[in-house]
Each structure stands twice: as structure tokens, then as C-alpha cells.
Structure 1
Amino acid sequence: MFRRALLGRLPPRMLPLVAVALLEGKERKETGLCRWRCEKHPYYNLTVKILRARNIKGTDLLSKADCYVELRLPTASPVIYRTRVIDNSSDPEWNETFQYRIHDAIKNTLELTLFDEDVLISDELTSVVFDVTGIEEGHLLKNTFKLKEDKEELDVEFFMEKSSDAPGEVITNGVLVACPCLYLQGTINKDQNTKVREQGSSQFRLSLPGSYEKQLSKPCKPDSNQTCGIPFVFHIGKEMCSELSVELERTITVLQDGVSPDFEKHSTVLGSGTVPFHSLSLGKEVDITVPLGKGLSVDLKVKAEEMTKDLDVRLGFDLCKEEREFLEKRKKIVSQALKNTLKLREDPNKDKVPVVAVLGSGGGIRALSSFYGSLLGLQQLNLLDCITYLSGISGSTWCLSVLYQDHEWSQKDLKGPISNAQDKISSSKVAAFSSEHMKYYFQELNTMENAGRKVSFTDLWGLIVEYFLQQKEDQSKLSDQQEAVKYGQNPYPIYAAVNVRPNVRGDDFAEWCEFTPYEVGFRKYGAFVRTEDFDSEFFMGRLIKKHPEPRICYLQGMWGSAFAASLDDVFLKVVGSGFSFLESLGDVVKIIDDCRRFHFRDPMRLKTRLVIPGGPLLQIFQDFFKSRVTAGETFNFMQGLYLHRDYISLKKFVISKETHIDAFPNMLTPMEENLYLVDGGFSINSPFPLVIQPERDVDVILSFNYSWEAPFEVLKLTQRYCRERDIPFPPITFHKEDEESPKECYMFMDAENPKAPIVLHFPLVNDTFRKYKEPGIERESEEEKSFADFQIEGKDSPYRTLNFTYTSDEFDRLVQLNCYNVLNNIDAILKALSLGLSKRKLKSRTQVLP
């Protein structure tokens, strides 16, 4: 009765949402949608009236504040609105009204920022981040935002009414929303240019805020082959309220003196005009004369059409078709291998075959060499065919990316590739920095830049890594590895990177990005692009400009971009804590939500947050200590996609923390133009987040940790990562002596939760290897004992992360050590596989129950 009574009082647009919330309680959803769906939602007209503020204290001690308010709602308008300035007042009153047209499928979050105007630069006093979801239609809502503890307040009125526009259809996966995209093409009438008879060169500057292109510059004089005027093209969202602006600009080049070749360019705007974007009829070419003022005008011929082709970004949380096909083929191979390994009477049914993943941590050449040894050990135990996924970070990705150039590598003796790697690692790296190679590097980077690609230090590092690993130019690409998994003949490779912010610590914000032979994407958002299309330009889910797929060396530079660390990151890793004083200078975030002011509480509405800017030195210190000057920058293929109004219902987001970026939708990656992809070690130094996703349903994880300190850190960080997102993961418990003197292998499992994977963890230790050359066979000669008696860690160790050259013996020791550690723990591995088989059978029976 209570539920029916409650539903009866809610507006129609809230019924489905609240009904689901009541049925599901407060439990957040697992993954959203496996695939995209179409939804139709109404438009609403939102009126925001900035009334007044009270008790405002400005930054000038000698006078009162000169206040104004900025309004930012990027999901509805590309324009940042602002009130007028009220001079010298602690209680400014504006009574100014602003209008927005919003789409109800999108998470619309309004930012209100109070400024104190100054002659040079205005000081930001405070910001309010307000989710407009939950404003009841047709009811005036007056809200007083408490800005600070000393009675500073801001009064704002909100009014929401349904728009007369027809509901708009969108494509969504429950997290991201793709709205209709318009293709605006036009020409500038060249005959009109004859009216411009000014000294110097003239050009038209066309701007369409909110579009992908933003601004275009076109010379007044068309090319000789342009018979129909000067063409231009814009891409923009259908729901975006914007104006096409046209400026006529004259540029004069002035020599500084009569002798020097130096010159300066001076530009003058001769006239400007605008065309309301929504005044254009879709699908109809129209002629428009735009007055520019001062007796000037320009003739435009424009046509706006809706792009009807399918999305080029795959929206969904399921595995791509090619990976699912791989799994079907791989299950047959794994089934046969498990029968032989576990000495079963018959092949396990393919639906009862456990999914086994092998993970290699980061650690530069140390990780590369060690991963070769671990894989060799698995091969000698005939276990490579039991593995479904191989995943790595940093140096481990270097190992995998070289191995997968051979499409049959796991069916061949690994001693050949290991010997080849030994030759490269033990050779001198001096030639990598010769004038000849430096010239080659800059020619390559210059070619990329001229092609319109973003170039960074990470790309240069990739070319250097290419020489370190192969000492020749490698033309292969990641998509070439499709041949290596086409028949399920090798485990499926997953390479890891994380998307970070240039001035945010990786511990605070890092989004895992997976690279496979078929797709690159973020499982957090359920957004993927074909591997062949990575580093191309996308907007609103559509491919706007295709660039060639980057060579794999550029990905190797990104996957192992240790140089992308900020000073704060380095200090955190070396000392164990970052620059704590930066936190005291940082922004203060407080929740100031007052639910009583709403007619009802929308369960999908974000709480209102108050952001008080940090001290005046914050930006200077952040730029110096936290900036990643060498982060790899690439085009964001999610640009132009919006967050769904219900995105916070999914477990993939951390919205419980007041300061976490996940709770600020206007700051999340879809709203950014670029991705900053770096070494995954800046978050967790092992790619656990890529294989523990429910979609991959992994039963057993063999974790190889190649760090020489904190042997269980990756497990503890993964446990925290999973706890924040409600992902099943076994409890990680160990004794203090294990941390100080770790053993070769540890097993972690959760007997009460069959969804939690069994984790077999191998720290990098030289323990029984000193005494035994093979399991059970002791070393006898002094030469054998001397070979195995070495320390992995230490300031004089050759295995430091930034050392890229080992002697042949140093390389061989590391490979043999890791191979031995696998062979010496065959019983633990077989036990994990057997438990994984039992767990899979249990899950299989559970799935068929009614």
C-alpha cells in the first residue's frame, strides 16, 4: 500500500526509475547493459534565476567584494553564462534569469561559481555543483545554498517545465548516452569577398561553440579549384543550443625593421554576425545573408543533416564478438589440456572449463625478463594451453608484444624467443642515442605531427623502447595480433594502461584502459573502438577523422611510460607518502544537500557539493609537483558522449567519496577532449582490474609480481579497488614475516563466494633456488652455487627498474629463477586448477537453476 501511494504522487517521468529503485532497494547494479539500447526521453526547459547572495567576504581586505556568478551546464549549452557585477557589496542582488533546454536522458549538473572581480584576474570564491535531476516539473524551487560556515549564502530559484519539442531518441548503455549528431556543411559565397578591399590578407573565422571543430579559419580568396565558394563543415549535437558566428578578419604583416627578417602580424576584426543554429531546417539547403556590420555582409549556403550511420564506438559491457568467438575455440583447447594435466577421465564440458588468467606486473626490463621465465615454467609444465588470458603492465607488456608477433608462439619452444631477448637486453644501448637514430626519431615524430596526430615525449620513448627490444624498425601493429588468436591457438592478450589527469595523483584517479588485438576501450564506461581506429578522431560516437593505426612501438612507450610520473608520484613510491602539504592547500569539497527542500528525493540524484578553492599557491605547486609533463596524449574517442542520468546506479563508479571525480560528471572523461594514457603501475602495478570484471568471469588468476619490494601491495590495492566497486575478490591476509621474507607462492580464495577468483600469487624471491637447480635436485658445484647466489633488490642491484641493460648471466639468472619458482610450485598450481574446475561446475549448476 505504501509503495502504491508513493508512486501515485510522483510525476510520470519518475515512475519507472523509482519503481526500479523500490524493487531493488539500495543495491547498485552489476554492469548496466550488455549492449546498447534506444531510449526516448522528453526535453525540459530549465529556468535558473540568480537572486542574491549574503555576507560575502571578498579577497580584498580594503573593500567589499565585487561579485558576479557564472553558470555552467555543458550538457545543455556550450556557453558559460554570467550575471552582471555588483560592485562593493557584501549582499549583492542580481535577480537575473537564464534559460536552458535539457534532455532528460542525460545527467545534467549545473555549476554555480561565485567570483570576486579584480582588475587583473577574478578570484573564485566558491562553487556549487547541483544535480538538476529531481526538480519537480511545474513547481518553483527556491534553494538557499550555504556557502561557508560564516553565514555566506546564495539564493537561487529553479523552475522546470516540459518542452513542446518532441521527445528525443538516444542510444545508451546505461552509463553513456549518444545523442543525434548533426553534420553542418556549407560554403561561403566567393563573390561577396569582392566587397573587401582592404590592405593585407583577409579571412573568415567561423565558430560554432559545442561543435567538434569549434572554430575554422578560411581565407577570403578561394582556391582556383573551388568553383562553388569556400567550403566548411561542423559536427554538433542536435540537442546543443548554439550559434554559428562569422567574423571577417584582416591580417597585416609588418616587418620590424628594414633589415631584420623578423615580422609581426596584426589582426583586426572588420565585422561579425551570427546565425542561430536552431533556425536551420534539417535536410534543407538554405541561402543566408549574414550582416557583419559596417556595410559588410557575407552570403552563406548551409545545410544541416542528421548523421544516420551506426555508431563507430561500441557501447556495451559485454565482450566483443571476436573475443566471444575466441573463447569458444579456446575452451576446446583448455578442456583437452586440463584433462591431461589433472589426469581426468574425460574432457570437461566446455561450459565447465575454468577461465584461467596469468598476470605479469610492471618493473621495466626486470619484469620483461622475469615474465619470460614464468611463461617458460608454465610451458615446461604443459600448462600454457590451460590459460585463457595473458595480461601485463609495463615491462610485462613488452614481453607479450614481442611474443605475439609469432602467431604460434605458445606452441613452440620458448627458449628461442628468450635467447633472442637475451641478445637484445645484454647488448649496448648507446646506439639508441646516436645522431643517426635521433634524426630518425624526430623524422618519425614530425611525420606524425604533420598528419594531425598528437605527439608527446611518450612517443619518443616508444621509439627508444623499440630499439631496446628489437634494435630495428618494427612496422607491426596491435591489430596484427588478431592472427595469433584467430583459432584460439594462444591465450588472449590484454595490455594495460590507465587514463589519468595531468595534475591528479594516480592513486586518486586512474581509469583502466584495455588494449586487445580487436578493441581498445574502457570497461568502466562500456565504450570501445576497433584497435585499427585507436588514435583517430571521434565525436558523439562517430568517427570524424581516420588516422592510421599507430605502430606497436608507440603503444609500448605508452604502456611502459615510467617517465610520466609527477614529482608527487615519485615521492609517494620512494618515500611512501606524497607531498602532504599539497592536500592542505587543495580544494575543500563538502556535501551541502538538504533533501527537505525537494518535493521528493530522486534516488539517482547526486548530492549537492560545495567546492571551496584552495590557497593562492595551489596552482603553482600543483603545476610543479603534480603535473605529468610527459603523459601520452591522444584523442578521446568518448568525446561528445554524455553520462546517463542513472550512471551512479552502477558499481563501476565510486560516488560515495565526497572528493572522488566520479561524483562530478562534468569532470569525467567523456567531457574531455583528450586521453592521458600512462603506465598502469601508477594505479596498481598489476592488471587485475582488467581480468576481474564480471564479463570475463575468471576463475583462477596466476599473479606474477616482479616488484622487489612490498610483495603484496598489488593484492591489497586490488582488494580496495574491488571493495569500492562491489567486485568479488578473495580476502588478502598474510603474516608480518611473510611481508619481510616472502615465500615463492601464496594462495588466496573465498570459500563462501564462488564468484571470487582463486588467486595464486608469486612474489619475486630468490629462496630455494639458491639450493636447488631443479625442484628436488640440489646444486653441487661451486659454479652452480655461485650462479644462484644473488640478491634481486638493493641499491647496487643490476635489476633496478631504470636499468635497461643486463649481462647475459644477469638475464639468464632472472629467467631461470622465475622458471624454477613456477616449477617448484606445481602442486599449488594444480590445486588451484582443480579448485577452479570445481568452482566452474558449481557456477554452471547454479546458472541452470530456475
Structure 2
Amino acid sequence: MLWISLSRQLIGRVLPVLGTMMFQKREKGEFQLRNWQREIYPHYELLVKVLRARNIKGRDLLSEADCFVEVQLPTSSPFISRTTVAPNCCHPEWNETFRFQIHEAVKNILELTLYDKDVLQNKKLASVKFDLGGLEPGHSHNHTFLFNPKNREELQVEFFLEKGNKPASEVITNGILVAHPCLKIQGTIEEKVNSLWHEDGNRLIKVSVPGAYEKPQSFPKYPVKDSTNTFVFHVNPILQSKLNIVLQQVPELEIPTRILCREEIPLSSLPLDQEVQHVVAVGEEHALTLTLKAEESSRDLDLRLGFDLCEKEQMFLDKRKQVVSKALQKVLKLDEAPQNDEVPVVAVLGSGGGTRAMTSLYGSLAGLQELGFLDTVTYLSGISGSTWCISTIYKNPAWSLTSLDGPTKRARSFVCSSKTGAFSSDQLHYYGQQLLAREKSSLHVSLIDLWGLLIEHFLHQEENPTKLSDQQAAVDQGQNPYPIYAGINVHKNVSSQDFAEWCEFTPYEVGFPKYGAFVPTELFGSEFFMGRLLKSWPEPRICYLQGMWGSAFAINLDDIFQKTIGSGIRFLESKNDINVKDDYETQQLLSPAQLKTQLFIPQGIFAQIITDIFTFRFTCGENFNFLQGLCLHEHYTESKEFLAWKVSHPDASPNRLTPMKKCLYLVDGGFAINSPFPLVLQPQRDVDVILSFDYSLENPFQVLKQTEKYCKERDIPFPRIKLKPEDISEPQECYLFENAENPHVPIVLHFPLVNRTFQKYQAPGVERKTSEEKDFANFTIQDHTYGMMDFTYLPIEFDRLVELSRYNVLNNVQVIQSALHKALQRRQRRRQRQAGR
């Protein structure tokens, strides 16, 4: 295989020189993942021999265990293999071998599960997840997995890895995700003997390909003579799946289904790009004729794999720098405008908080606009309620160039109006029609979609036809800050505090920075598989995104406990026993990319029930998963975005991560961090100053502490958050956090929603004199009026929030100016260093 080695060297060394680099050297000598490239990797044959188990204690106290082992490798096969059952034996012997084909580019994790067979339900005794990346080809490896050191319960397995007969194949990868060529199976079933469908019972043909994107397909009960039935399946050829054809008698009344014939055709037996016929015999006289064709698509992907900003965002930045440069010259009173490569990047963040956050953000933006600072902002990002404000003002492509008084007044009229019309018979009929239309389009429909329609009525009181991609007109000339809306992808049975993948929505792209995978905004909601677009659906109206971005109904009990008492179901963690060793027996050192072996002892029934209750989400935004069918790269763990070093973290279980899921479960990002810091802190955005507006009612520094922890775990530059006791009890209007010694750490200005000097001053330096002026400012933010579920305000309540937020910005003009000046000086020094090289 010398040519394979040479090909990989050429692709790994020559292509980066030509400009399609996946890795770029950092100053510290590390490597940063970049864009996709094509690479060639070999295939291997893996033999897994389940030898024996020792000292196994079954769950049934009256008899010994009836043991068997399930062997599963999802990246190689869609099937679960199992040994025979060893009855009534605590030292079962199997010596059964299972064969898999694996691809070197992929992170292959073998799962072995020991069961005690039971009449009602098989009982899981223990399971192990083993990283196959540490196996050396051509050598036999014996491993003993010790489940219970006290009783010496163990499972012994032998592995043998050898070069496969299949030639090395090319994949597309960005170092995190791997896209194989997609195998498309097209088929036609011809049934020319109509007597197959007897009068005494209907017949049904079912066709399926395990592991394929498409579900099993059934054909009509009453076919017309000489009719043809076609089917299509898309599948990863690495899975070595089969085409299953089943002819069955359709049950009538209480008659059970009867299988008349069954046939399995290995996909590997089908020649590529050739039509072949296959005959399925039905008894002695009848037959079905299948015309099959297999095609392999190795074309470029329909999604973007990469860690750079998309081309259109980069074009926006070039245009926006010119606007920011002129604004900086004005607000900092500079003799001349800074050059483009000296212009600092400023991001404004709005936290969650429902209508309170939406209303307050209008005031914060108005304050920035009044001071001339709004034109110095490059990114405007929001979460939850803040997204309702941002997505509304971006209906106007020139919103930041005109006064915000108009948009604020319109928002006021809707917030202060009655919401009873949202539940009128006409509106309910409208909701039903909209949801039914989505369901007929095969889109996932949930309570989140209804919530989005309610928000649409609350914000506009009419149908809002706009889509997120319509906002491209608001940024194509760099005239406004670039909007970034935040959501998180969660697992249904995992707390969002333990696992949340940040998903960004922009006018041009929707995607996961963690995976380096993005789709055009117009195609969000369409069906992708293995990186290829299979079916395009219309882009959802923005109201459905607003419902998802602010999906308070997606909360679970663990989230409630986190927010009310500061901790969730941590008391249950000890129930889930996970033993980890670097390598059993040899204790050899793992490579940086290799995952530690994980041993799992199942929870007790009570603990599992409680865990399920706490982590169950009443609803969430289900969307087609555009990552489905992609695999995780063998070295994905080297990316610091993945917390695979935490053995209990889902990142350490690649077989359970998002690319292996059929759906995305997108919810309000506030369930993780109630401010979109992770999206603007990506290194490629290179943000210098962050203006964080926190509209929380309690603990106005929680998002900062959570972000500090988030950044520390991922080695992202972020200032240390040092607070005094009085800051917690009586927070100020504005805090500045920085690291003067590290220019890569952004300067963070944090604005809690507090009513301090506003009570005394109606404008900076202008005291309130009349009783009416004093009464207007005499209110408490924590009043129940501004609760999360309060959607209707009195006019004075709306005005108070807007004016307070505006004033808190105006009253800290010098702090903002100082931060901008420091950031400009940093950029200038960086430019001088680069010029001196």
C-alpha cells in the first residue's frame, strides 16, 4: 500500500501549500482547525472475539445469570450482534467471533453490553465503551474489562486488526467531521403475476435498508396489474448494510401478520453505476423482479465544513470596518480615522428575560445610538427575549441609520395592548392552519411552533411573512451590526447544564461552531444526509425561530432547580457508576486523540426514574438534523470545543453525539448561559470589546461566572471575574473586566439591570426635581410586573424599562470610551508588531 501512504502525504502536505489548508500554525505552536479538504484513508478488518466472563452475579437472586453479550459498532454496522445465551452460569464461555469493517478516518468506539436474559425483559448488567484507535494492525490484543473489582466480575475479549481488502477511499473532512461518499440505491419492483394478491387476503411489500436515511417503504395493498413501484435509499457504504425485501399478508381484523417470503441483498454485491435485476421467488410459481442500481456520490458537500467565517460575513466585515473607523474618529475625537486593520471589533450582547429583555434592549440600543457608539458596533447578538427585539428592528434594512424612537413606540403599542386577541377563535383557527401546513410538509411540529405563532401575534398582531435570510439586505452594505441569534442543541435525557451545543443563526448561515458545520440560512429546515441535500423545504418564517430562541416551555425540572436553588440532580450522580482506566492490564499511555475506556454499571430503577423525570423536556424545537450521516474524525477530541476529557460528558461518547441523531433538539440558549458569549468569543471573530447587557432579575453576574467557566474549560481567552461582596448585594450600573497583560483577552463591559442613580437623575448630571419625575423613577426591577411570564405592561412600566436602560448607558459614556480607546491601542500595537516582522 505504498501508493496510499504517498497519496496521504501529498494531500496532507501539498494541498495546504496550495491554499486548502485544514491546519494553520498558531503563535504558541498549536494547530487550529480550518477548512475542509479531501483525504485518503485505508480500511481495516476488525475481528472481535468474545471469550468469556467471570464471576457474574445476575439480578435474579433465585438463580444464576443467563448471560449473553451484545456487540455494537455504529460506525461500521447498523446491526447489533450478540452471542449465544450461556444458561445458569456465573463463568460463561463463548469464544464467538464478530467481524467489522472500519475506516481509519473515523472515531470507532466499540460497545459491549453484558445481559442477563429474562422472559419479560433482558437485564443489563454492565457495558463498556472501548476506543479502537489504540489497536495496532497485525497484532492480537487481549483485554479484560473489570466491571466489579470487589467481586472480580470481568469480561474477556480478544481483538485482531488487519488491513482490509477494500482499497483506501477518499473522504471530505474538516478534522472534526468526516463525510464519506454517499451510496444511493434506486430500485423498481415489478409484479407481473397479479394472482399474488389473492382475494382471501391483501399482500404488502416492505423494502428497507438498515442505517439508511429513508424509513422502510411499503407499497400499495391493491396494485394494478403490470404496475411498477420505485424506491430510493441513501446510506453510508461503510456500514455494509443490506436491502431487505419482505412480502407479507396484511392482517385483517384479528388475523396476525404472516410473512410469505423474505430476501436480503448485501449492498456490497451491487455493482456501481449498473442496472441489475434480482428475482425474489414467492412460492413455486410466482416471483418479484427487482431492478436495482447503486450509485456513489463523491461530489462536494451542500453544507460548509470549516472554522473560518463564511465568505459573506467576511465581506460584511470589510465594509463594516469603514463605518466603524469613521465612528471611532468621531466618538474618540481622533485626528484621523483608524486604518481598517486597526479597527477594533465590538460586540453588543443582550441577555434573555422575555418581554423584560426585549423592552430593555430597545433602551440600551437607543443609548448607544445617542452617544454615537452604535456605529462602532460590529456584532449584535441576543438570546431569548433579546432576539425578539433584534429580529424585529432588522425588518428595516437601515434601522441603525434612523432614530430608534419609531421602532420603540411600535413595540410599546404591542406590549401595552391586550393579549386576549391571541386566543380568539379566528386566531386559534389561524394557528391550526399554520401548524397543519407544516405537518403536511413532513416538518416536525411541537408546542414550540405554537409558541412562535403566539410571539408573532404579541410582537406584530398580524402575520409576519419575513424570514431570517431577508435580513441580508440589512447587512449587505455593512450599514448595521451583524446580527447573531443564539440557540442550543440539547439531548432529551441530559441536563442542559451538562450538555448544550451552541447553534448560531445569522442572515447568511445557520450552524454549529463546535463542529465547524454550517448550512445556508435559506436551507435551514431542509433534509440533509452525509452532507448532501436530499430534499429542500421552504425556509421557516422567523416567528418559528423566535419561538425556539425564546422557548420557555422547553424547560425541565433540572433547569428549574438550577435556577431556583443553584443545583440540579447532582445527588443522583453517584447512582450511575462509571469506572475508567487508561488501559486495563498494560496501563499504557493513551494518545491525545484516544478516549479512555468507559465502564457503566446501570442505575437502579428508582434512580433512573427520578433522572428521567428531572431531565424530561415537555417540548423542544425538533428540526431535521443537517449533520446526520456525518462521522466524527479519529482526532476530534483534540479540539478544545469538545470536553471529551470529562469521562462522564456526552462529548466522550461519540456514538451518541449530534451527527448520529436524526433530529436537532433546539431550545432557548438561556438554559445553558443566559447570554450569547460563546458565539462572539469564537477566535475567528476576534472580538476586542464586549458590551454585555444583562436583564436578569437575580444574580446579575451569573452569566459572567458561567462564561468564565466555559472559557476556562476550552482555553478561550476571557478576563477573570473578580467581585466584591457589595457587588452582589448592591450591583453598580457598569463593570469593566480586562486582562491588561494579555491582548487576546477581550475587554468586557457588563451592564446589570439596576435602578441606582436613575432614581435621582433623569439624565447624567441632571437631577429630578418634580414629584412626577421622582415617582416615574421610583420602582423596583424585581417587581412581579417584570416577571418572565408577564407579556403585557402598562405604558409607564414599558417607559420605565426603556428609559432606565438608556440612562445606564448614557451615564457610563466615559467607561465605554475608555474601553474603545484601549482596544484601538491594542490593534495599533498589533499592526506595528506585524509590520516589524
**Scaled by the length of structure 1, what TM-score is found?**
0.94
Q: Which whole-Å CA distance do the structure 1 matches of 2:418 and 2:446 have between them?
A: 26
1:795-834 deviations in Å (ceiling 9; x for gaps): xx20011111100000000000000000000000000101
After superposition, residues 365-444 of structure 1 pair within 5 angstroms as 365-444=355-434
Partner of 2:497: 507
- Displacement of 1:582 in angstroms is 3.3
Name 1:180's counterpart in structure 2.
181
> 8 Å contact 2:394–2:471 — kept in the other structure?
yes
Equivalent-residue separation in structure 2 for 1:317 and 1:324 (angstroms): 13
The equivalent of 1:798 in structure 2 is: 785
Alignment-derived partner of residue 86 in structure 1: 86
Q: Quote the offset at 1:841 in angstroms.
A: 2.0
SS class of match (2:239): coil
> Which whole-Å CA distance do the structure 1 matches of 2:447 and 2:74 have between them?
31
Matched, 1:44 2:34: no
Secondary structure of the residue aligned to 2:820 is helix
The aligned counterpart of 1:668 is 657
Write the mapping of 1:227-306 to structure 2, written as runs, cut at 5 A. 229-254=228-253, 266-291=256-281, 297-306=287-296
Q: Which of 303, 318, 322 in structure 2 is aligned with 1:313? A: 303
> What's the offset of the Cα at 1:430?
1.0
Aligned partners of 1:203 and 1:217 also within 8 Å:
yes
Q: Which amino acid aligns with 2:467?
A: K
Which sits farther off after the overlay, 84-93 or 267-276?
Answer: 267-276
In 2, the alpha carbon distance for the partners of 1:646 and 1:168 equals 18
**1:233-268 Cα distance to aligned partner (Å, 9 max, x none):** 0001122211100001222443xxxxxxxxx78533
Matched residue SS, 1:302: strand
For 1:263-294, what per-residue CA distance to the aligned partner results, in whole angstroms no more than 9, with x for missing partners? x7853322111111100000001011123567
**Cα offsets for 1:745-789 (capped at 9, x unmatched):** 000011121111100000010000000000000000000000001
Q: Which residue of 1 aligns with 2:164?
A: 163
Between the aligned partners of 1:356 and 1:808, the Cα distance in structure 2 is 33
2:811 maps to 824
Which segment is superposed worse, 624-633 or 47-56?
Answer: 624-633
Question: Which residue does the alignment assign to 2:35?
Answer: 35
How far did residue 590 of structure 1 move? 2.1
290-299 or 432-441: which moved more? 290-299
Q: String of CA shifts for 1:115-160, please: whole Å, max 9, x gaps.
A: 1111111111111100000211100001111111221111000000
Rounded to whole Å, the distance in 2 between the matches of 1:287 and 1:297 is 12
The AA in structure 1 aligned to 2:565 is: V
Mapped contact 2:11–2:38 kept (Cα < 8 A) = no
Q: Matches of 1:705 and 1:232 in 2, distance apart? A: 53
Report the alpha carbon displacement of residue 545 of structure 1 after superposing the two structures with TM. 1.2
Separation in 2 of the partners of 1:179 and 1:692?
31
Deviation string, structure 1 residues 724-763 (Cα, Å, up to 9, x no partner)? 1111111110101101100000000111211111000000
Answer yes or no: is the 8 Å Cα contact 2:359–2:801 preserved in 1.
Answer: yes
1:552 to 542, 545, 552: 542
CA apart distance, 1:622: 3.0
1:15 & 1:325 partners in 2: Cα distance? 34
Report the Cα offset of residue 594 of structure 1: 1.9
Code of the residue aligned with 1:734 in structure 2: it is L
Change (3 A) 1:198 1:357: same
The 1:800/1:128 distance shift into structure 2, 3 A limit, reads: same
Cα distance in 2 between the residues matched to 1:114 and 1:17: 42
Q: What is the CA distance between 1:218 and its match in structure 2?
A: 1.5
Q: How do 1:574-613 and structure 2 match up within 5 A?
A: 574-585=564-575, 587-594=576-583, 597=586, 601-613=590-602
Check conservation: 2:759, 2:777, Cα contact below 8 A: yes
Structure 1 contact 222–230 (Cα < 8 Å) conserved = no
Residue 402 to residue 458, structure 1, CA distance change in 2 (3 Å): same
Residue 66 of structure 2: aligned partner: 66
Partner in structure 2 of residue 841 of structure 1: 828
Give unmatched runs, 5+ long, in structure 1. 1-10, 255-263
1-side partners of 2:234 and 2:337: how far apart? 55
Superposed displacement of residue 599, structure 1: 8.1
Q: Secondary structure at the match of 1:205?
A: strand
Please tell me whether residue 570 in structure 1 is matched to residue 560 in structure 2: yes
For 2:426, the aligned partner's letter is E
Question: Residue type matched to 1:182 in 2?
Answer: L
SS in 2 for 1:191: coil
Q: Is the 8 A contact 1:30 1:650 kept in 2?
A: no
Does the aligned pair in 1 maintain the 2:490–2:666 contact within 8 Å? yes
* Partner of residue 115, structure 1: 115
1:5-44 alignment, distance < 5 Å: 31-32=32-33, 34-44=34-44
Distance in 2 between residues matched to 1:647 and 1:749, nearest whole Å: 31
Q: Is the contact between residue 271 and residue 296 of structure 1 (CA under 8 Å) also seen in structure 2? A: no
| Deviations 1:557-591 (CA, angstroms, capped at 9, x unpaired) | 00000110001211221122224443344x22221
SS of the aligned residue for 2:68 comes to strand
Which whole-Å CA distance do the structure 1 matches of 2:502 and 2:836 have between them?
A: 34
CA contact (8 A) 1:28 1:650 kept: no
CA offset at residue 299 of structure 1?
A: 1.0
Counterpart Cα distance in 2 of 1:210 and 1:293: 29
Aligned to 1:727: 716
Aligned residue runs from structure 1 range 73-152, under 5 A: 73-149=73-149, 150-152=151-153
Structure 2 letter corresponding to 1:237: N
Flag the 1:424–1:652 CA change in 2: closer, same or farther, 3 A. same
| Partners of 2:7 and 2:40 within 8 A in 1 | no
Residue deviations 1:419-450, cap 9 Å, x none? 00000000011111122211211111111111
Q: Aligned match of 1:617 in 596, 600, 606?
A: 606
Residue correspondence of structure 1 range 536-551 to structure 2 within 5 A:
536-551=526-541
Q: 1:466 maps to which residue? A: 456
Shift in alpha-carbon separation, 1:302–1:266, aligned structure 2, 3 A: same
Q: For 2:12 and 2:291, locate their aligned partners in 1 and report how far apart those are by CA, in whole Å.
A: 48
Q: Amino acid of the residue matched to residue 727 of structure 1?
A: I
Q: CA deviation at 1:12?
A: 11
Question: Take 1:169 and 1:466, find their aligned partners in 2: how far apart are those partners?
Answer: 47
After TM superposition, give the deviation of residue 623 of structure 1 in Å.
3.1
Would the alpha carbon gap of residues 722 and 383 (structure 1) be closer, same or farther in structure 2, given more than 3 Å must change?
Answer: same
Is the 2:8–2:41 contact (alpha carbons within 8 Å) kept by the matching residues of 1?
no
Tell me how far apart the structure 1 counterparts of residues 396 and 87 of structure 2 sit (CA, whole Å). Answer: 71
CA distance in 2 between counterparts of 1:632 and 1:550 reads 12
In the alignment, what sits opposite 1:812?
Answer: 799
- CA, structure 1 residues 29+433, in 2 after alignment: closer, same or farther (shift >3 Å)? farther
Aligned ranges for residues 695-706 of structure 1 at < 5 Å?
695-706=684-695
| Contact 1:595-1:601 at 8 Å conserved across structures | no
Partner in structure 2 of residue 755 of structure 1 = 744
**SS state at 2:392 partner:** helix
* Deviation larger for 575-584 or 504-513: 575-584
CA contact (8 A) 1:67 1:114 kept: yes
- Unaligned stretches of 5+ residues in structure 2: 14-23
Contact 2:143 2:585 in 1 (8 A): no
Distance of aligned partners of 1:218 and 1:31 in 2 relative to their CA distance in 1, 3 Å threshold: farther
Match of 2:201 in 1: 200
TM norm structure 2: 0.95
Evaluate the alpha carbon distance shift between residue 543 and residue 82 of structure 1 in structure 2; reply closer, same or farther with a 3 A threshold: same
Code of the aligned partner of 1:234? F
Letter in 2 for 1:401: S
Q: State the alpha-carbon separation in 2 of the partners of residues 485 and 16 from structure 1.
A: 40
List per-residue Cα deviations over 1:28-82 (Å, max 9, x = no partner).
95641x2101110000000000000000111001111111111111000000111
Matches of 1:86 and 1:532, distance apart in 2: 55
Letter in 1 for 2:196: K
